[in-house]
Amino acid sequence: MLGALEGLRAAEAGEFSRRAFQNGRMDLVAVEGLADLIAAETEMQRRLAAEHAAGHLSALYDSWAKRLTHARAMIEAELDFADEDDVPGSVASTIWQDMQGLKQDIVNHLAGAHVGEIVRDGFNVVIAGPPNAGKSSLLNYLAQRDIAIVTDVPGTTRDVLHVDLDLLGYAVRLHDTAGLRDTDDIVEREGIRRTQRSIAEAHLVLLLSSDPDIDWAGLSADYTGPRLRVLTKSDERADAWTPDGVDVMISVTSGEGMTALLDAVGGFLPDLESGQALSLPTRDRHFSNLRDALGHIGSALDAGPLGLDIQAEYLRLAGHALGRVTGRVDVENLLDVIFSEFCIGK
């Protein structure tokens, strides 16, 4: 074996990627993308991770960094070389329109952050409703195995259970929850509290009931997000019409309505097939640093009365925040930009 040869050893976990980063062959976003690619379980996770690992997201951030560097270079040129004939007066004024555009670019980018989170971490769907509405039965049916205990005794489910599904290439995490009702059982009350917390954090709530006359609004009065009202046990109904207020009718016994339910859930998934790129932020550190950069650019735009030197400092801080995303913090190349655009010192 090669390990038996002198000077050779097994590579440590992530060693090749670490060396690639240290030698400038990959940045932090690409390294994270590679890790996500290895861990990907669905097609959309694979596509998102491959986009990051290939450096496409890094290229976007690098282009923003270059715009910040150029803006700072123009300010430095006006401040330090104002007497040079090669530097026209008020050259810095030409960059603020671009900085306003960059600010909007980052705002638009951050607006897609929730999509990146959904693709990478999964789309959370919570099954909620009163006891014995068929919540656990639905979870077991979609998982194709017995995940939750199913009995006729109300309050069987006390904790939040979940199963991961692959729906249209997305990771969908389906949560089974305790039945919503008033109870004196301290353990069941804790289960209901966890149910309400899960509902508040859900991307989509499936409100289940076997009673077509139930007060759907009362089931989740505090939840204002997307929901589907699902009438269960349709095989036990004598009529086939869909009552008012019901979105889907299903039966886990006959399988009736299950395709319609999955199609309805799929309608709430992000649409990334219409030309939208997968160059999306996915991690908390991405969001935090991008928000910092956005704030510093906004401060630079508002700091005109304070002078160009203050504005330049805000842009420097914005560049640092952006550099922390990729791990390329402050390679000072302002003078290179200045001298490449002007003939100063010739």
Looking at the predicted structure, is the pLDDT value of residue 192 above 80? no
- CA separation for the pair 206, 175 (Å, rounded): 10
The pLDDT of residue 80: 67
The pLDDT of residue 296: 95
Q: Which residues pair with 174 in a beta bridge?
A: 125, 163
Residue 101 banded pLDDT, cuts 50, 70, 90: very high
The pLDDT of residue 68: 92
Looking at the predicted structure, is the pLDDT value of residue 337 above 50? no
Looking at the predicted structure, is the pLDDT value of residue 77 above 80? no
The pLDDT of residue 147: 58
Q: Are 242 and 250 in contact (CB under 8 A)?
A: no
Look at 147-151, 158-162, 268-272, 315-319 and tell me which has the smallest mean pLDDT.
147-151
Residue 165 banded pLDDT, cuts 50, 70, 90: confident
Q: Are 343 and 86 in contact (CB under 8 A)?
A: yes
Share of residues in the chain with pLDDT > 70 (%): 75
Mean pLDDT of 21-28: 76
The pLDDT of residue 89: 52
Domains of the chain by residue range: 55-112+280-341, 118-266
Q: Say how many Å lie between the first and final Cα of the chain, rounded.
A: 61
pLDDT digits (tens, 9 = 90+) for 254-297: 888 889 989 999 888 887 765 456 778 888 888 889 999 999 99
Looking at the predicted structure, is the pLDDT value of residue 7 above 90? no
Mean pLDDT of 95-103: 91
Closest C-alpha among 215, 213, 153 to residue 178: 153
The pLDDT of residue 184: 58
Share of residues in the chain with pLDDT > 90 (%): 13
Decide which of 3.40.1440.10, 1.10.730.10, 3.40.50.620, 1.20.120.430 is the CATH code for 55-112+280-341: 1.20.120.430
Q: Read off the amino acid at residue 327.
A: G
Looking at the predicted structure, is the pLDDT value of residue 103 above 90? yes
Give the predicted TM-score (pTM) of the model: 0.72
Q: Are 198 and 175 in contact (CB under 8 A)?
A: yes
Reading across the β-sheet that carries 170-176, which strands appear in turn? 161-167, 170-176, 123-128, 204-209, 227-231, 248-249
Mean pLDDT of 66-73: 89
- Supply the mean pLDDT for the chain: 77
Looking at the predicted structure, is the pLDDT value of residue 104 above 50? yes
Output the 3-class SS for 111-159: HCHHHHHHHHHCEEEEEECCCCCCHHHHHHHHHCCCCCCCCCCCCCCCC
CATH 3.40.50.720 assigned to 118-266: no
The pLDDT of residue 151: 47
Mean pLDDT of 63-86: 78
The pLDDT of residue 158: 47
Looking at the predicted structure, is the pLDDT value of residue 343 above 80? no
> Torsion angle of alpha carbons 130, 132, 136, 138, nearest 10°?
-90
